[in-house]
Structure 1
């Protein structure tokens, strides 16, 4: 099927608009073509009003915005206008998106018919279950103990509530099962673009400066989804290490903007909107893609992979 529009499928994540410099980046985001779609892959902000501001702005500019939640949108903070927790907070954000015309993991998976299509866009909300454990640990309890001993503990432990689920990993397993059933029902004749805030495989977390942080970065339950299904690309964020990698022949795009202290550290400017479809051709512009040399690899390890206690 030929493309029916000239639009491109673009993506960004971890825009953290509570930072004025990041808010300015979002204010400058515009489509290159009238038919461009934008995937917003979580961590827009912590406060409901900030999420609303950013999604409303982007929905007014792009032909279609697709949002998936990160961990920060799910935080319950005393200074927020809503005190909802857990599933109720997530559903409030879904309702917000419905009013803005923004698609979410609760909507039917939309068909992309622009350049590089057709492809079915699969927005997902999966969380994590502490199975990306640090070396030398074999249980969630051991992994958490190692994190507390190292002083590297995600803020989710105190402000991301799983209500009505007993734990965040219980919530994760429920979301994984729900999403797996929907994926199993997808026809295999149209390739999928899987979109989730957290990486679907553990490999991208191997370069984190603090390996104990990986336990808040995904679940082993999705390790084979990129090969189990007909997948054209996987899009994620969370790690604040933007790059293109390939696993089992499938392209993975980490599309974070990150905090100002992080993106300012890059020696070369990078696009804040990553093209997903059509698939980029030629050599990616640094820092997108694998580091070209050891100095670039070191910049990832010592720059973006630090200070992930967010």
Structure 2
């Protein structure tokens, strides 16, 4: 019995979709899907329908791609912002998939007990250099062709801005995490890294403003995290901070992983997992 994780499946790419469809069943294991499954509701629902029967439990958090308002998306109308997110939550629940809106499940397998907390926090552009003002971020990133597509496709409606939506989500998550029984370890799951220093993307360093919020820098300590799971960066790695293991679990686009291996080797073992040192 293992707690596994993967993110950034990007099923709009046929190679990725075919590889995920070939993934065998792991009936004793839980699976975390840490965002950026796909952009369209039908693709996302197809994955929930595919994987829910193959794992004992599936836990999902949205990435930015799931939240995009896609022009001409069949059956989705003009879903944007909060409405698109709520539609995704409904799809997940229809297949028994745990979402950030549900009670946090308790992992009692090897490495437990741990509360697995799926989070939806977004970003507020604070992962930018100190010398770059908020109103200068897009122009600064554009100098190196690093502007995120969210600026066109991620509508924060009904919030005024993406950062306002981020701050609201962080406040709600803080409230819920503070209610966890004192002393009980957690596995924090978010699409974006919780710490700025973990954003290491040398190919596009100016993409960092779209990668998280400084509000979460100390959450691994505040909320007794045994492991923090995230994706978004397409740079698979393991880091340790203050005794907490941080796992970037992206699959990525076809050029970023070895397709001859299939997807199974890229399922990261979160628990029981390795021990520090």
TM category, shorter: over 0.9
Are 2:240 and 1:246 equivalent residues in the alignment? Answer: yes
The answer to whether the 8 A contact 1:44-1:51 is kept is yes
Ranked by relative contact order (alpha carbons within 8 Å, sequence separation 6 or more), the top structure is 2
Identify which of 77, 102, 106 aligns with 2:70. Answer: 77
Change (3 A) 1:241 1:206: closer
Aligned to 2:119: 124
Deviations 1:138-170 (A, max 9, x none): x21122220123221100000000000001000
Aligned to 1:13: 7
Aligned to 1:64: 57
Aligned to 2:251: 257
Aligned to 1:97: 92
Identify which of 233, 237, 241 aligns with 2:231. Answer: 237
Residue 172 of structure 2 aligns to a residue whose secondary structure is: helix
The answer to whether the 8 A contact 1:134-1:143 is kept is no
The answer to whether the 8 A contact 1:193-1:234 is kept is yes
- Structure 1: any 5+ residue segments left out of the alignment? 1-6, 284-310
Using the size of structure 2 for normalisation, the TM-score is 0.94
Q: CA deviation at 1:222?
A: 0.2
Task: Provide the rounded CA distance (Å) in 1 between the counterparts of 2:105 and 2:258.
Answer: 35
Q: CA deviation at 1:135?
A: 5.6
Change (3 A) 1:202 1:266: farther
Are 2:145 and 1:158 equivalent residues in the alignment? Answer: no
The answer to whether the 8 A contact 1:208-1:214 is kept is no
Aligned to 1:87: 82
Using the size of structure 1 for normalisation, the TM-score is 0.84
**Root mean square deviation, CA, Å:** 2.0
